[in-house]
Amino acid sequence: MLRYWTAGESHGKTLLAVVDGFPAGIEIDTDSIDYDLRMRQGGYGRGGRQKIETDKVELLTGVWKNVSMGSPVTLQVINRDYKLEKLKELERPRPGHGDLTGAVKFLGSIRNVLERSSARETAVRVAAGALAKQILAEFQIECIGFVDELGGHQIHRQAGDIQQWRTLREQSEVYSLNPEQDPEIKQLIDQAEEQGDTLGGILEVHISGLPFGLGTHAQWDRKLDGRIAQAVMAVQAIKGVEIGLGFEAARRPGSQVHDPITYDADKKDTPSLGFERPTNNAGGLEAGMTNGQSLVVRAAKKPISTLRQPLESINLDTKQADTASYERSDVCAVSAAAIIIENVVAFEVAVAFCEKFGNDSISEMKARYDLFQQMAQQR
């Protein structure tokens, strides 16, 4: 099974991800991992930390002569801002962060909890996802995450395919698909900064080129929609997830929700096998399985809980009323979240892909993929 864990603290020596079950025989492209790491650091509204860090991946294990060996791959991103030993304890928990809950649960330090609950950890989740995308790339599966809404303002995306959307995202300082709307969105972020406040937003991920049948209907914990929801909800500050129409599906009659099925023999060699759907309200998943259409996942990110104009809190030692602690932070990390969500979703898709086609070696996976496509065309 393809899986990963991470380790490391926000201001500790390093961050690590161990990716287990990565197939042998894939030539690793570290530049594309570094690209995603750089993107995660960017976006308008980021704080001082990103001026200190230049996140780059180092592959510590599992790779020989730049090719995966089939053994666990350890990815490292070193923290330049390593200062944990010098940092002080916090006494005034920040509402919305893990400070109060963690200090009570572990009967101890707020610092212990915040160092691990910080979204800094997402650097190595992005690295793990970017590695997993290299499996998907072998099968022409493409992924993009972008900002669809920020601080309550809808961004009107420009039409295009994933390649064109990548170019638009590159041009947008907020990682949206409409760079022309950047000035108004940047102004919102500037206003929040002036007021000592923070902003959240909505991210959307599209993955194209997926074959039929990733995931399964047969058991609750193996349904791909459920797994994706878990991975997305487990990203710091994410409060909601939707697949396809999501919550909007609950407001419409069935005739305006479900995607009609047509057949086009000219497209039988494509991932859709010729089964065309004029709409994709299901977001590429039916009964927990991919249906040959693009996967569409949306996530809601709350505003960062570290506020320069702090909310009411208490001093945990004295229990006296006070304001929450403030540590250097970001005004808006919604753009970074677009990259993070893209990568955590891509990882789950790669897990399901490895379940269907095996994960010993890329050559066996390709043979099994081709065989399945041939057999499925006969169905």
Contacts with ligand EPS, residue ranges (CB under 6 A):
10, 47, 49, 81, 118-120, 122-123, 304, 306, 327-330, 333, 336
Output the smallest distance, CB 219 to ligand EPS, in A: 35
Angle formed by the axes of helices 224-233 and 334-357, to 10°? 150
| Closest approach of ligand EPS to the CB of residue 93, in Å | 13
Given a contact cutoff of 8 angstroms between Cβ atoms, the answer to whether 217 and 289 are in contact is: yes
Tokens representing residue 351 in the block: 């897990």
Closest CB to ligand EPS among residues 188, 333: 333
CA distance 113 to 9: 9
Could you write out the DSSP letters of every residue in 21-53?
Answer: SPPBTPBP-HHHHHHHHHHHH-STT--THHHH-
Alpha-carbon Rg for the chain, nearest whole angstrom, is 22
**Beta carbons within 8 Å of 49's beta carbon, 6+ residues apart:** 81, 120, 328, 330
State the minimum distance, in angstroms, from the CB of residue 170 to ligand EPS: 20
Minimum Å gap between C-beta 10 and ligand EPS is 5
Residue among 92 and 356 whose Cβ is closer to ligand EPS = 92
**Residue number, 23 or 45, with CB nearest to ligand EPS:** 45
Start-to-end CA distance of the chain, whole Å, equals: 28
d(CA 204, CA 51): 27
Closest approach of ligand EPS to the CB of residue 11, in Å: 6
Q: In the complex with ligand EPS, which residue's Cβ is closer, 276 or 327?
A: 327
CB of 339 to ligand EPS, least distance (A): 10
Closest approach of ligand EPS to the CB of residue 115, in Å: 9
Least separation in angstroms between CB 233 and ligand EPS: 16
CA angle (166 as vertex; 199, 233 as ends), nearest 5: 45
Nearer to ligand EPS, 118 or 290 (CB): 118
Nearest residue (CB) to ligand EPS, 116 versus 186: 116
Which phi and psi angles does 342 have, rounded to 5°?
-55, -45
Handedness of CA 261, 266, 270, 273 (dihedral sign): positive
33 and 124 Cβ atoms separated by less than 8 Å: no
Phi, psi dihedral angles at 40 (to 5 degrees): -60, -30
Decide whether 47 or 213 has the Cβ nearer to ligand EPS. 47
| CB of 77 or CB of 143, closer to ligand EPS | 77
